[in-house]
Structure 1
């Protein structure tokens, strides 16, 4: 712990959703605690839309957040940006226009490469604006005005550099759920709670439930898997409602998945938990024989849920992104499904892992080793060192 006057003070604007509804808010909560231990005081500043349904309510909320930042007396501002965190409003991208230019600005882009506001502006014009560092199609003035841009993965770094010429700092994620004391015992109790017969295999999906997470295809894989493992069960451990999936859409998607379990004749084999506390989520991971993350765009190390599964020592099955993946897929720490959106391919890969205890043990060991390099103290130290460089402070 670094005392009083030596501590860096950071204002951290972020999306307004609570941690149980937004992965970036959950990330911020973890980061604030880790930075406190590293000698950095963070004041979170949620950017909340004003009341009502006015199209300007996010503009009002952004102005209010800027006003609060100006009165905090912070050493720098660090914005956590993801379009979904702000319900795809471009207004938070105006934040730099309302802040003192003397206050160093840092932006972390958690999602990047698939959005533009306004969407009708032609690509060549966006390119002119971005190369001139005037405006960024996804973050408005945030990336162009930042003294440093942080990315969590190489893919985002490449897109930012190609569009804007900005060199980024790569600070990876860390597990979004810690391995809680007593979770192994709690995991055994959870298996009993869902009526799992002794020795029956349990598959676990962990994370926010959303159409892009591939749950439809995982449910579709269960009939084939149950032919070899009649008592097999699937636990879908995570909430449906999120910033990316508002409540009405979340209810409709849960109803769709429930109907899908009946259509495939596996309704008795699937349990949807809803949002879990960190302790309960840790127990769910320990309960798993295999964690399955069949994301429709593939899984990379920018997934906190993936890192949590690996840190818990769970054999994990993932889909690969376009381009062959990253360090994760070269590590041998996961079993990779050769096709995305493919229930038969999922069933084949999961079935191979279930049938091979030596493979499961090897995946678990390599997964723990890989996850050990992605820890919150390391994430916090990387942020602190970046802040010090920007502020011209020496280590100490």
Structure 2
């Protein structure tokens, strides 16, 4: 089978780029020829790249949609118009919407982009009915729209007006990583893993850990937290200031410096070893209030996939569709933004560390079922069905 994959790919530093690279390799291992016609393509070069490529080559085009990117969406819409019989499918990483925003606001709303906040945001909100119309038009043309969770599938189908047979749930694939025993339970090692930038709730995690140590002073020295992950300049350094310095200052103010470790810009070859050197991953994500005006984001996280692959449990907020991902005895959830609830959850784990063992066992079972080799087979079945439709 020959497919064209429209997706960001490394060296771009995003979770979707990492996902797409593993996806591509797993399909190729199953004998699929995967073309990547948009690799390295800028927004400005997109029209020329689309016009130059021979779209008669692939039997099917699959896109990875999400992460605020628009190239893949516009490419699919181009193909909808110019090659209406070419089967199109997509994995939607941020349901219930496909892209959430337009590349350019229509006139006269575009004039608001010249002014300071909140005028551009207000204009984007006013333009949302048009954005939603364009998303629905493309979504209904897709042979299949894939989500990583069942909750995401339900929300996407409802918001985009899709028939049941147009949607499917295929869980986030993960690497086949040899299991490793938990380290000794004292000290108990917690891990935040992922890209480090604002909006991930990392401040909540630091404040919660400080509360636990205030309530249970004897746990100091028995409880450690590692912040590990990528710190691309455009993420860590923004107009609001140096986020990493802000985190370090907050840790100092909360008297956490003696129980906090940093592993920044973690090489990909060290990810599994780092996760397995810890007992439990903690993902304190918060929903974006801005996106809440446009809909409900019900995606998941690549970090959760890594936890399963490495056989480690997770404490996570109930943002996105995380509650579904830890509903099988592989972790615990708490209400997003509730620092007291997060502190209570960490405290409960610290006082009953055997929970980490049971969570790890169940995570390993989930990870084995979601290996990329099996995930690729599920996608191949879906692609063949999509190509068989007239």
TM-score range, shorter chain: 0.7 to 0.9
CA distance in 1, matches of 2:78, 2:40: 13
How far the C-alpha of 1:203 sits from its partner, in A, is 1.3
More deviation, 294-303/62-71: 294-303
Q: Provide the residue aligned with 2:291 in structure 1.
A: none
For structure 1, which runs of at least 5 residues remain unmatched after alignment?
A: 1-7, 51-57, 130-134, 192-197
Looking at structure 1, the residues matched to 85 and 301 of structure 2 have their Cα atoms a distance apart, in angstroms, of 34
CA distance in 2 between counterparts of 1:246 and 1:9 reads 39
Structure 1 range deviating more: 293-302 or 160-169? 293-302
Q: For 2:61, what is the secondary structure of its paired residue?
A: strand
Counterpart of 1:26 in structure 2 is: 18
1:294-328 deviations in Å (ceiling 9; x for gaps): 122499883221122133222321222379932x3
Q: Per-residue deviation at 1:279?
A: 2.6
What is the DSSP-based 3-state SS (H/G/I as helix, E as strand, rest coil) of the residue aligned with 2:35?
A: strand
Distance 1:144 1:325, change over 3 A: same
Map Cα deviations across residues 127-146 of structure 1 (whole Å, 9 max, x no partner): 6x4xxxxx217xxx642432
Return the alpha-carbon distance in structure 2 between the equivalents of residues 318 and 146 of structure 1.
Answer: 32
Correspondence for 2:101: 116
Which of 211, 224, 233 is residue 198 of structure 2 equivalent to?
Answer: 211
2:36 partner SS: strand
Helix, strand or coil for the counterpart of 2:63?
Answer: strand
Equivalent in the alignment of 1:237: 228
Tell whether 2:288 aligns with 1:305. Answer: no
**Who is 1:270 aligned against?**
260
Q: CA deviation at 1:389?
A: 1.7
Using a 3 Å threshold, how does the CA distance of structure 1 residues 239 and 286 change in structure 2: closer, same or farther? same
- Give distance in 2, aligned partners of 1:379 and 1:146: 20
User: Which of 223, 233, 248 is the aligned partner of 1:258?
Assistant: 248
Match of residue 118 from structure 2: none
**1:240-265 residue CA offsets vs partner (Å, 9 max, x unmatched):** 2288x375469722122112111212
Cα distance in 2 for partners of 1:324, 1:100 equals 37
Q: 1:285 and 2:285 equivalent?
A: no
Equivalent-residue separation in structure 2 for 1:322 and 1:34 (angstroms) = 26
Q: 2:153 aligns with which of 125, 139, 157?
A: 157
Scaled by the length of structure 2, the TM-score of the pair is 0.78
Are residue 61 (structure 1) and residue 51 (structure 2) matched?
Answer: no
What is the distance in 2 between the residues matched to 1:180 and 1:251? 40
Q: Pairwise mapping of residues 122-133 of structure 1 onto structure 2 (< 5 A)? A: 129=133
1:141-180 per-position Cα deviation (integer Å, ceiling 9, x unaligned): 64243222222222332233223322312221123x5526
TM-score by length of 1: 0.77
d(CA) in 2 for partners of 1:322 and 1:239?
21
* Structure 2 match to 1:95: 78
CA contact (8 A) 1:333 1:366 kept: yes
RMSD, matched Cα: 3.4
**How far apart are the structure 1 equivalents of 2:39 and 2:49?**
6
Per-residue deviation, 1:121: 4.4
Q: Deviations over 1:63-96 (max 9, x none)?
A: 2332354267221211111142349x97556432
- Report the CA distance shift for 1:282/1:69 in structure 2 as closer, same or farther (over 3 A): same
Whether the 8 Å CA contact 2:10–2:18 is kept in 1: the answer is no
**What is the CA distance between 1:42 and its match in structure 2?**
1.0
Partner Cα separation in structure 2 for residue 233 and residue 324 of structure 1: 23
Q: 1:180 to 1:362 in 2, by over 3 A?
A: closer
> What SS does the corresponding residue of 1:308 show, helix, strand or coil?
helix
CA distance in 1, matches of 2:379, 2:67: 22
- Are the counterparts in 2 of residues 295 and 318 from structure 1 also a CA contact under 8 Å? yes
Find the residue that maps to 1:258 and give its secondary structure. helix
Q: Structure 2: how far apart are the matches of 1:236 and 1:323?
A: 23
In the alignment, the residues of structure 1 paired with residue 196 and residue 205 of structure 2 have an alpha-carbon distance, to the nearest angstrom, of: 12
Residue from 357, 363, 366 that aligns with 1:361: 357
Which runs of 5 or more structure 2 residues have no equivalent in the other structure? Answer: 106-123, 289-296
Matching residue of 1:173: 172
In the alignment, what sits opposite 1:54?
none
Residue 159 and residue 68 in structure 1: after superposition, are their counterparts in 2 closer, same or farther (change >3 A)? farther
Query: Match for 1:335 among 316, 324, 332?
Result: 332
Do the aligned residues in 2 keep the contact of 1:107 with 1:142 (CA within 8 Å)? no
Per the alignment, residue 378 of structure 2 pairs with: 382
